[in-house]
Amino acid sequence: MKTIGLLGGMSWESSALYYQLINEGVRDQLGGLHSAKVILASVDFAEIEHLQSTNDWDGAGQLLAEQSRLLEAAGADFIVLCTNTMHKVAPSIESAVAIPFLHLADTTAAAITDSGMSAVGLIGTSFTMEEDFYKDRLSAHGLTVLVPDAAQRQIIHRIIYEELVLGVVSDTSRTEYVSVIAALHHRGAQGVILGCTEIELLISDDDSPIPTFPTTQLHAQAAIKMALT
């Protein structure tokens, strides 16, 4: 079994879900008392959020690159970055280490194409919805990516940073998210990417009018497969 290097803390709420899903998946596949071999580097999210809000992506890339080097030195065989937004600095991480980097957008795109869908909605932080680093990676797999309008993007982003990263799960916010997803469906989205790891704390297939692609679960499943291959 390979050792998984988890780069988390953005936020710790979703990183805890990664840890749970990966260990449950390894147990289910191997049985008995098996669990995953994991090394976790967990950053202070307040530092990351400050770098995001001040547009210091170079600084954020350097910080996560250093944490990735620590994971490699500690014995990780590959790296899983436990956040969608910070894949903006994925090139900084990849260039800092010699071990593989399991890109979340690639694992998500594979699940979408395997489902036979070609047009999907994307909800996440404003960085993920509005910038090209994530959408272009998905488009490279032949997908059409739709994002909410400006007012809806603001709602999605606010709920993430004011509620979900703090562990607050509100029925009112769930209703707002479902409304946004319904609007994306009306525009032609066949499914929707839950493109922020915390969104899975709020929305599931049972809530959504169209199939969801929960990036945390998909990333965790890909990490399990890579660790056991």
Q: Identify the band that residue 13 occupies on the pLDDT scale cut at 50, 70 and 90.
A: confident
Closest CA to 36 of 78, 86, 83, 90: 78
Residue 181's CATH number: 3.40.50.1860
Domain membership of residue 97 as a residue range: 4-103+218-228
pLDDT for 24: 97
Claim to verify: residue 202 and residue 109 sit in the same structural domain: yes
> Is the pLDDT confidence value at 22 over 90?
yes
pLDDT for 14: 87
pLDDT for 197: 85
pTM for this structure? 0.91
Claim to verify: residue 99 and residue 149 sit in the same structural domain: no
> Is the pLDDT confidence value at 146 over 90?
yes
Say whether 83 is catalytic. Answer: yes
Say whether 3 is catalytic. Answer: no
Claim to verify: residue 148 and residue 166 sit in the same structural domain: yes
Claim to verify: residue 11 and residue 60 sit in the same structural domain: yes
Claim to verify: residue 223 and residue 154 sit in the same structural domain: no
pLDDT for 92: 97
As for how many domains the chain has, the answer is 2
The catalytic position among 196, 197, 212, 215 is: 196
Claim to verify: residue 139 and residue 155 sit in the same structural domain: yes
> Is the pLDDT confidence value at 219 over 90?
yes
Claim to verify: residue 203 and residue 118 sit in the same structural domain: yes
The catalytic position among 83, 108, 212, 216 is: 83
Claim to verify: residue 98 and residue 129 sit in the same structural domain: no
